[in-house]
A and B are shown apart, each in its own frame.
Chain A
Amino acid sequence: MTTVIERPLPLSTPPAALQALLTSDALSLCFQCRKCTSGCPVAAEADVKPHEVVRLVQLGATDELLASRFIWECTSCGTCEARCPQAVALPAAIDALRRLSRERKVAADPAVPAFNDIFLATVRQLGRAHELALMAAFKLRTRRFSQDFAKFPTMLRKGKFALLPKLSGDRAKRQRIFRRAREQRKAP
């Protein structure tokens, strides 16, 4: 059991083992004290509360979790894990749920996954994030043209947006990393 506390949920667990991870001993230490939910900044509005996430995983009810709004509303602030008397690594479990939810194409929220994909595609191409390109692509994808439009002139005037992207790093190595990641995701 102590090994479980020290290494609750390896971040690197390959996708094939995601299902096993979610039903592993790592979350079984929870005794439903609800300290996680008490301290969670978004629990008040959540369809599934943090302590319920753990319970549903214990019960194997992952379908409900994968389609929940909460896994996309969690800010990854880590307050739950920091205060958990059993050191349950809930943020890592929620990351695993997010990945699995996308793999199964049941993500309840389109905006956050779209933003993440655009962000990573930019990094793959350029080496660094480029906020102006990211914003433009995100708006095109989600059709949120009016949101924050009024802020653009101010942000530009204050020099808060780099106009041109900078290319950086070893592109071939980066392509290899993204290719390997894709292969790992597809691995049986």
Chain B
Amino acid sequence: MSYVFYPGCSLESTAKDYALSTKAVVAALGIDMPELAGWTCCGSTAAHQTDALLALALPAVNLAAASGNTVAVACAACYSRLKLANHEIAGDAESRRLVADALGADYDGSTPVKHLLEILRDDVGFAGLSEKVTKPLAGLRVAAYYGCLLVRPPAIMRFDDAENPTVLDKLMAAAGAETVDWPAKTDCCGASFSITKTEIVLRLSRGILAAAREAGADCIVTACPLCQLNLDMRQSDIEKKHGETFRLPVFYFTQLLGLALGLPASQLGLRGLLVDPLPLLTRKGILQPEKAVAR
């Protein structure tokens, strides 16, 4: 299967660490994934809340440009918007007509869309992946957090079990980490309200952080730029507001997988995380103390 990579806007800014670590991991695994030339924004939450046609046409421009390749996506929000657009365009003739009129060309909704986690599961395989692990994340207790957009609506996303997904847990197990059993895997972090309705984000993200800590996790691992930003950047605000200290590092799965594959920390964007993960990683012997100093 040939891929084109659709990074999405977050990976150029707040999720730069996700972009860096994805690039490093994909290269290490020998997956050919050139960036989709001239890609544009999927429209995100703003489009579907504002206008029905924009919500379909903005993803469709990119899907049509993939010319038969499978679109590989890192961001859970882009993944959701691209798949929902495909579903609607392929299943509803009037939607397809409206999109064709807006784009100036027909698009039938058939470009395959896969999240990086699905590519690792289906193409590389977790058994194959664990063979490539040179530095297993032994002793690291991880809370695998999926959030909303990968799994819901389940009938369209068809990603994993919507209430108890396990793909990220299995990936972390392949990397040698231990994942905790916890109830907040698919709870909402407050998503795009980070700027507009911060108080909702603080309340919801606090619940997720508390559940991870309660389950005995050392850290959280995510596959979504919005989730990562809310749980990481908003942690200090939650601590301030509720007088509750978490100090739980929140990784992108590509960062932890990269460490397990023996990639240098400098290629994985670990410095970009706001809750410093280096004390945890050195305590667990995953990074050497001198390397942490040399960062």
- Give me the interface of A with B, judged by CB distance under 8 Å: 7, 10-15, 41-42, 72-73, 75-79, 81-82, 87, 89, 91, 95-96, 98-99, 102, 111-113, 115-117, 119-120, 123, 127-132, 135, 138, 147-148, 151, 154-155, 158-162, 166, 168-170, 173-174, 176-178, 180-181, 184-185
Q: Are A12 and B39 in contact (CB under 8 A)?
A: no
Say yes or no: is B126 at the interface (Cβ < 8 Å to chain A): no
A95 and B48 in contact, given A120-B54, A173-B61, A181-B102 (Cβ under 8 angstroms): yes
| Apart from A127-B41, A181-B102: 15 A-B pairs, beta carbons within 8 A | A10-B94, A11-B55, A13-B52, A14-B52, A76-B48, A99-B51, A113-B50, A117-B46, A120-B54, A128-B9, A169-B40, A176-B102, A176-B103, A177-B57, A180-B101
Of the stretches B188-196, B216-224, B259-267, B284-292, the one at the interface is B188-196
C-alpha gap A148/B240 in the complex (Å): 13
Alpha-carbon separation in the docked complex, A12 to B59 (Å) = 13
A123 touches B41 (CB 8 A): yes
Q: Is B53 engaged at the interface, CB distance under 8 Å to the other chain? A: yes
Q: Which residue of A lies closest to B80 (CB)?
A: A78
Our pick among B46, B95, B274 for the contact of A11 (Cβ within 8 Å) is: B95
Q: Chain B's interface: helix, strand, loop or mixed, by majority?
A: helix
| 20 A-B interface contacts by CB (under 8 A) | A12-B99, A79-B152, A82-B151, A82-B154, A95-B52, A98-B49, A99-B52, A112-B197, A120-B54, A123-B41, A123-B46, A127-B40, A128-B40, A131-B14, A154-B274, A155-B14, A168-B39, A169-B39, A181-B54, A181-B102
Q: Are B38 and A79 in contact (CB under 8 A)?
A: no
CA distance A78 to B151 in the complex (A): 9
Which stretch (B84-92, B131-139, B170-178, B242-250) binds chain A?
Answer: B84-92
